[in-house]
Structure formats: C-alpha cells, structure tokens
C-alpha cells in the first residue's frame, strides 16, 4: 500500500540546519522522496556592496561572508587583487597567511565536530570541541585583535607581524590539541551510535562526484585525491610537506574520517610554518586607499577551505572600486544540487546529519 505523502519544512530557523535556509521535504512515512533547498533568508548583497566601495573598504566586507571560517575569503580577495595588480607579497607574509589559514581550518573542524555529533544527538562532543576552539580564537585575538572576524590578510601581505611570544603560545596550543584529539576519537569515532548513524548514510557516487561539482572533504571521502593546496598551489603550500587523504566509501563516515585526519595534518602544518618562517617584511604597502586604482583585468583564485574549494572571480575596470567580485563557496553546489539529490531515499532524522557532513553554509549560497 502506498503511504500518504506529506510536506515538511525544515528551517529557516531550526537547530539542525546549518544557518538560515530551508529544506522543503516530501516524505512518505519517514523516508524522503523529494527535497528542495530554498534560500533567500540571508541575502546581504555583499557583491553589490563591493561594487560601491573602494578596494580597501571591500576587503573589510569579505570576511563576513562566512562566520565559521572567514580567512579563506580574505586570502582569496587579497590574492585576486594582487594577481590583477601584479603586487608582490613578502615571503614572511605568505608564511603567516598559511598559518592563519591552517589555524582557521582547525577551528572550523572543531566547530564541525560539534555540529556533526550534535546532529546525531551526541551533545558532549560539541561542548568539548567548541571549548577547545576557543584556544585557537585566543591565538587569533593575539594575532589580529579579533576572535571571529580577523580582517588580517589584506592586499600586499598581512596587517601585523606576529606578536612577541606568539610562536611559543601557538606551539603549546598545538601540543594540547593533538592530545585532545585522542579523547575526541574515544568519544566520537569509537562510539557505536555515531558509527551506526554515519556508515552507509548520504552516499555520494564516486564516478559522478567530480562532474557533480563535489569538492573538499566530501570529494576526498569518495576516494578521490583532490586538494587545491596540491593541485593549484598558492602562497607557500608547495614548500610544505603534507599529504592529501582520500578514503573510499563516500558516506558520512568517510567524510568524518577525512576531517579527522586533516585536523592532525593542519596541526603539523602550523608547526612546519612556524619552524620555517623567514624574517623580514610582512607587508608591501599599498598607496592611499582613496587613490588606489587597480589596472583593468580579471582573475580567478582558489583556496582549499575546510569545506572545500573556495573561489573568487574578480574583475577590475581600472578604477578605484571592483567592477565585480563573485564569490564561489563550496556550499553553492553542496547545499543545493548535491543535497537535493543525496536526501532522496534517506530518513528525515538524517537531514541535518547529512547537511553537517557536507559542510553546508548558506551565506556562501547567497552572498
């Protein structure tokens, strides 16, 4: 007998949804037969705002595009400006940038630990990991003055040099986090509830993944080695030693394992960067921001953020304001076409579980 079909609306305000967006579900029993993503609750028109602000004023806007991980936005924006203008960046600034990006990646993964386990009902994990994330935010506060939004990586380099004693403090934090990760494993990865919820759920087809536009940990969770840090190296990633993990499976479980591996790798990268960081200048000064014009041209730059490939397409018409800045976040594909397809056939209770595993972030969909 065919079960009666019901329409369910999850979001825009819902603790299981990763931000302000709505998933409209058609369910039969508790099985999803159709899913539609609806956005529009968070549109702040950043791209339009940037067209009316000069190059430096626009820089202060971009970090607001993503709350959990603002730094790839800043880095992308700065690198796009530098590419069009041909501005050199001091070597030390590149190392500091990589350190900032890796710290941001660790912070984002710690937040992800909370979201992923919380959506499975395991609430202790989030208390631990979000608490430990504060130690990273402390480092950011020392370095940039801001805990969440940093406005630190700007065109020409970075805004400040490392403060006194920062290196030692950062290394101490990394040592502490590395020890904590073993506790996390016991709490989350060895937990049979999490294993049963995660294995075989939200499977992405490996053969279709690249064509569907899957990026980042979800793609590596399908067994495909793909990482912008290796494929299109930026800053000083080509001088650092790290691996791209890839695990076969394509489900929530392998995506979680990939992140588990990467957080350790990021800790290692921070140590490497602090060890290899050269001295010298950290900023190639820009001219008076009101008079600062960028030659006409366009650039597309990419960064590997914690959620996947993050891109900026920037166009300059030779003026003192951007002609167009188009932000491409991984959620633009993950949160719409991929999510709508993955949810079909899944259980209603797994919606936010799958969303968290994809790293859906609505502010990237509607910039």
What does the binding site for other proteins look like in residue numbers (CB under 8 A)? 36, 39-40, 43, 45, 47-49, 51-52, 54, 210-213, 224, 226, 231-232, 288, 290-291, 298, 300, 309, 311, 313, 315, 319-321, 323-324, 326, 328, 332-333, 336-338, 366
User: Which DSSP helix (H) or strand (E) runs through 317?
Assistant: none
Q: Name the residue nearer to other proteins (CB basis): 190 or 232.
A: 232
Instruction: Give the gyration radius of the chain's Cα atoms.
Output: 21
Taking the complex as a whole, the smallest distance from the CB of residue 301 to other proteins amounts, in Å, to 10
Residue 48 or 160: the one with the smaller Cβ distance to other proteins is 48
CB 359 within 8 A of CB 216: yes
Residues paired with 301 in a beta bridge: 312
Strands of 5-10's sheet in order across: 5-10, 22-28, 31-38
CB of 328 to other proteins, least distance (A): 5
> Least distance to other proteins from the beta carbon of 231, Å?
5
Q: In the complex with other proteins, which residue's Cβ is closer, 10 or 56?
A: 56
Q: At its nearest, how many Å lie between other proteins and the CB of residue 90? A: 21
Q: How far is the CB of 209 from other proteins (least distance, A)?
A: 10
Q: Which is nearer to other proteins, 146 or 213 (CB)?
A: 213
Peptide bond into 263 cis (omega under 30): no
| Smallest gap from residue 53 Cβ to other proteins (A) | 9
Question: DSSP string of 256-315?
Answer: HHHHHHHHHHHHHHHHHHHHH---S-SB-----TTT----SEEEEEEEEETTEEEEEEEE
State how far the Cα of 334 lies from the Cα of 100, in Å rounded to an integer. 25
- Which residue lies nearer to other proteins by CB, 19 or 115? 19
Judged by CB, which is closer to other proteins: 28, or 232? Answer: 232
């Amino acid at each position: 007998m065919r079960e009666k079909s019901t329409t369910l609306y999850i979001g825009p305000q819902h603790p299981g949804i990763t931000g302000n967006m709505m998933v409209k579900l058609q369910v039969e029993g508790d099985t999803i037969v159709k899913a539609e993503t609806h956005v529009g609750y968070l549109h702040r028109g950043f791209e339009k705002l940037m067209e009316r602000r000069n190059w430096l004023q626009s820089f202060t806007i971009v970090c607001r595009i993503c709350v959990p991980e603002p730094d790839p936005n800043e880095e992308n924006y700065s690198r796009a400006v530098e590419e069009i203008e041909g501005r050199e960046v001091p070597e030390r600034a590149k190392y500091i940038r990589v350190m900032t990006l890796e710290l941001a990646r660790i912070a984002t993964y710690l937040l992800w630990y909370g979201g992923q386990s919380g959506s499975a009902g395991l609430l202790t994990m989030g208390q631990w990991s979000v608490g430990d994330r504060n130690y990273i935010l402390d480092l950011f506060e020392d370095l940039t003055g801001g805990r969440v939004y940093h406005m630190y990586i700007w065109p020409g380099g970075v805004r400040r040099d490392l403060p006194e004693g920062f290196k030692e403090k950062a290394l101490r934090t990394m040592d502490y986090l590395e020890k904590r990760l073993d506790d996390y494993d016991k709490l989350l990865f060895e937990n049979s509830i999490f294993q049963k919820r995660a294995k075989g759920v939200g499977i992405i087809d490996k053969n279709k993944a690249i064509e569907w536009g899957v990026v980042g940990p979800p793609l590596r969770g399908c067994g495909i080695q793909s990482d912008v840090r290796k494929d299109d190296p930026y800053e000083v990633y080509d001088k650092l030693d790290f691996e791209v993990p890839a695990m076969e499976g394509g489900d929530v479980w392998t995506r979680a394992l990939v992140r588990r591996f990467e957080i350790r790798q990021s800790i290692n990268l921070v140590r490497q960067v602090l060890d290899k960081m050269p001295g010298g200048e950290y900023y190639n000064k820009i001219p008076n921001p009101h008079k600062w014009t960028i030659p006409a041209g366009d650039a597309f730059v990419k960064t590997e953020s914690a959620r996947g490939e993050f891109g900026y397409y920037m166009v300059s018409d030779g003026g003192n304001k951007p002609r167009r800045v188009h932000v491409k976040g991984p959620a633009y594909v993950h949160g719409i076409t991929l999510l709508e397809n993955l949810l079909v056939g899944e259980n209603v209770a797994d919606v936010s579980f799958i969303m968290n595993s994809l790293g859906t972030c609505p502010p990237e969909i509607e910039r």
